[in-house]
Amino acid sequence: MAKGGFPKGMAGMNAGNMMRQQAQMQQKIMKMQQEMAKAQEAVENASFSATVGGGTVKATVSGKKELTELVISPEALTPEDAEMVQDMVISAVNEALRQAEEAMNKGMESVTGGLNIPGLKL
């Protein structure tokens, strides 16, 4: 230990320096939180669409992961094609949701620099 009871490397630091560094760190954290909120809001306000079956089914979801639009081509609405259309709806919705999730993750990663912050839902 160095003079004053501080571990090596902190001997020259006084309480004022430590408080300034802590305040700077808190400012950086607050700025990161604000940037994360902006990134999250941008994704939540976006929409993501996926089309399957050569345009037969199109699903659109919000960044909040809510289905906002579903378009099914009238040509696909025959009784014998019902099961196939159901599968295409599921596929289109899942792909649109995957796009929304990916956009949210990219938005958060751009703010955090790829850091895995405990308690942060990415």
Q: Which domain holds residue 89?
A: 48-111
Q: How far is CA 83 from the centre of its chain?
A: 33
| CATH code, domain carrying 91 | 3.30.1310.10
Q: List pLDDT tens digits, range 79-91.
A: 888 888 888 888 9
Q: List pLDDT tens digits, range 13-60.
A: 678 888 899 999 899 888 888 888 888 888 888 888 999 888 888 989
Q: Does 101 map to a domain?
A: yes
Please name the residues in contact with 40: beta carbons below 8 A apart, sequence gap of 6 or more. Answer: 104, 107, 108
Task: Give the pLDDT confidence score for residue 119 in this predicted structure.
Answer: 58
Phi, psi of 40 (to 5 degrees): -65, -45
**Is 122 in contact with 105 (CB distance < 8 Å)?**
yes
Q: Which residue has the tokens 């906002």?
A: 68
How many structural domains does the chain have? Answer: 1
**Is 28 in contact with 51 (CB distance < 8 Å)?**
no
Q: Does 122 map to a domain?
A: no
Long-range contacts formed by 16-25: CB under 8 A, 24+ apart? none
